[in-house]
Amino acid sequence: MINRSLVRALLTSAALAGAGVLMAGCNGDEISLANNAKANQPVPPKLIADMTAKNMDLQSPILVRLFKQEAELEIWKQDRTGRFALLKTYPICRWSGDLGPKVREGDRQAPEGFYSISPAQMNPQSAYYLSFNTGYPNAFDKALGRTGSQLMVHGDCSSRGCYAMTDEQIAEIYSLGRESFFGGQKSFQLQAYPFKMTPVNMAKHRNNPNMPFWKMIKEGNDHFEVTKQEPKVDFCEKKYVFDAAKPPNATRDLMFDASAKCPAYVIPEEVADAVRDKQATDLAETARLVAKGTPMARINTGIDGGMNKVFAARVPEGNTGLSEAGDGSFSLMARAPGTIPSHVNPPKAPSENLLMGPPEAPKLAAAPAATPAPAPAATPTRVANAAPADKDEGGGFFSNLARKVGLGGAADATASTPPSKPKAPEAKQTSRPEAPKAAAPKPEVKHAASRPPLKPSVSDTAAATPAPAAKDNHVSGSAPIVSSNSFDSRFGATK
């Protein structure tokens, strides 16, 4: 009798354990997305209020757009009509490289193009507070032999091929992505551009060798602009294809291969007509600006990336580098939107980024931008590392200076870390959206030693600090004063 009871108890325990494993597998994304306090910070109440005002749900899908020249990151969110609307714009604290796509490992370029962000690419254990992997290289990049890895959007305001925000900003952005996944979005789209794809910018950069590539991704921008829907992205014949659909009489689903011939496809007529009209208007305006004498931007040399003017104005010897003033939406900020670490290196003064005049006639470019010879197949997309890699593939004055003073080199995707911190080995993670296994994740030693582990929300500080009212679609308020760690207390005497 006792033996039978013991057997029943053991069987029941085994069944419960098995059920627990199954539940853990089903909820793997949620566990891995929010497995610590940093990654589980709630969406700020002010941002939720903005969603309500714009007819959006907390867990509706999001879409992210990045612009290097303007140094801005936009969060778009689906409203209850099914269309995407701009929720908030964040100033980018630092990006590296030049205008143009990433081509090879170590070129310091932040990627440009269309990328898909899944839960597996969200990294709650990042050494740069929080991060998500852009997914570079995508199928198009691989088809051209482009190389690189661990290109992220992260905190810490330091970049070696990434888009770097402040810790407070990335905490807010991360929370928006997390909630969209909890709401059922399987992945959100990241659109990364050299600049806002306006006729003015296309005229200014008309002789840039990257223009054929930029015209190609502008088509995706135009699809989004006219539909306010996330464009469907495919690749064939080493090019992007947007919103492709089966021809009316097709019996099989479309099969795309980035390196192969494009299958027969159509673009929905209403979308194709709207995009065609927009492109015709843009081309006419661009031609008018060229004829008017709009000066061309020179190709830059010796300048590494940019920084939004909100941050550059508060960094000793700060400069926006390749970033230009946008529409002035952030100019009234009383404080920088977040804590800026002392080790951040502002870009060099853009002495070469002068405008030429009179302009030359636009050069005709029949082929895509030059790319290196095909390289071995890149490794699959991985979750962003929990710690920076140990190789230094960057260059330039500030990189060399950082090494001399002991900041050390980081991976292609990250900036140098502060001195006196031991270099952590590269922690490769799989792309499966599962909770971290085996050894416990490395603690955030890098940040814990210098500032609090949790970052106050950028949105929630408006009421605490008197500041001019911000537009609904832009960063509002300012960061609170954090004892001995706030940006103003660090650099207040050197403004």
**Residue type for position 165:** M
Q: Are 195 and 67 in contact (CB under 8 A)?
A: yes
Q: Are 96 and 110 in contact (CB under 8 A)?
A: yes
- Residue 157 annotated as catalytic: no
**Pairing between β-strand 152-154 and β-strand 163-164 as defined by DSSP bridges:** parallel
Of 181, 179, 124, 176, give the one whose Cα is nearest residue 457. 176
**Residue type for position 310:** V
Task: Give the three-class secondary structure for 91.
Answer: strand
Q: Which residues, at least 6 apart from 122, have a Cβ–Cβ distance to it below 8 Å?
A: 32, 33, 39, 131, 132, 174, 177, 178, 181, 383
93, 154, 205, 236: the active-site residue: 154
162, 205, 447, 474: the active-site residue: 162
**Pairing between β-strand 122-123 and β-strand 113-117 as defined by DSSP bridges:** unpaired
The two three-digit tokens of residue 276, written as one number: 């065609």
Residue 86 belongs to what H/E stretch?
strand 84-91
- In order of 87, 347, 462, the CA distances from 159 in angstroms are 25, 11, 28
Q: How many whole angstroms separate alpha carbon 153 and alpha carbon 290?
A: 35
Q: How many whole angstroms separate alpha carbon 193 and alpha carbon 196?
A: 7
Q: Which residues, at least 6 apart from 384, have a Cβ–Cβ distance to it below 8 Å?
A: 121, 123, 126, 131, 132, 133, 150, 152, 154, 413
Q: Are 52 and 468 in contact (CB under 8 A)?
A: no
The residue written with tokens 């020249």 in the block is 69
The residue written with tokens 């291969």 in the block is 257
The two three-digit tokens of residue 14, written as one number: 């085994």
Of 329, 307, 328, 305, give the one whose Cα is nearest residue 316. 307
Region of 93 please: left (phi>0), alpha (psi -120 to 50) or beta: alpha
Q: Are 337 and 478 in contact (CB under 8 A)?
A: yes
- In order of 60, 148, 158, 335, the CA distances from 67 in angstroms are 23, 20, 17, 22
Q: Are 464 and 450 in contact (CB under 8 A)?
A: no
- Residue 162 annotated as catalytic: yes
CB count within 10 Å of CB 196 equals: 17
Omega before residue 466 within 30° of 0, cis: no
Of 147, 188, 222, 165, give the one whose Cα is nearest residue 33. 188
The residue written with tokens 């593939």 in the block is 393
Q: Are 158 and 416 in contact (CB under 8 A)?
A: yes
Active site residue ranges: 154, 162
